[in-house]
Amino acid sequence: MQQAEDLLAKLTAAERERLAKLNEDEENADQERSLADAGKYANVAGRGGVAIKYALAQIGDRYVFGAAGLINWDCSGLTMRAFQAAGVSLPHSSRAQYNYGKSIARKDLLPGDLVFFGKPISHVAIYVGGNRMLHAPRTGARVKIAEFSLGKKPYIGARRL
């Protein structure tokens, strides 16, 4: 993280502005794809389906660390509120949420399962099927549907509530 901050500090104002514009363009494209894909995931039944529908309605909302809605979210705030809509009480912590429900092997994932990333666990998302997940990814990003991967943060496991 410090390396990234050091690099940013070396950029000119014009370069920082260009980088911010590229990031915003990428986020806008992600939002268009997420909204176009949302209908594919709205027909899941059960608790997981209720949670998915709730989270789908938040697509486009901004990520803010520590936020739990109703217009800003962090990853565990989104999953906490989504499952609260389904009648499941979860803590506002990805690491703590990993202790709830039943452990599920990656090959057995179903839409509505929570998926966890990072060592130690630092991210949670809702699996929606087709190697895709719904999540509030990071500062500067918005709630979206994305590929089932977090780059350098390793997949740790999944839980079914």
Which neighbouring-strand residues pair with 127? 133
Domain regions of the chain by residue span = 2-160
At 134-158, the pLDDT tens digits run 999 998 899 999 998 877 899 999 9
Q: Which residue out of 81, 132, 135, 159 is catalytically annotated?
A: 135
Q: Is the dihedral of CA 133, 135, 138, 143 positive or negative?
A: positive
Q: Which residue out of 75, 124, 125, 143 is catalytically annotated?
A: 75
Q: Mean pLDDT over all residues of the chain?
A: 90
92 catalytic residue (yes or no): no
At 33-92, the pLDDT tens digits run 887 888 888 888 899 999 999 999 999 999 999 999 889 999 999 999 999 999 999 999
Confidence of residue 5 (pLDDT cuts 50, 70, 90): confident
With a cut of 90, say whether residue 32 has pLDDT above it: no
With a cut of 80, say whether residue 28 has pLDDT above it: no
What CATH class does 2-160 carry? alpha beta
Residue 80 has what pLDDT? Answer: 98
Q: Which residue out of 47, 81, 123, 142 is catalytically annotated?
A: 123
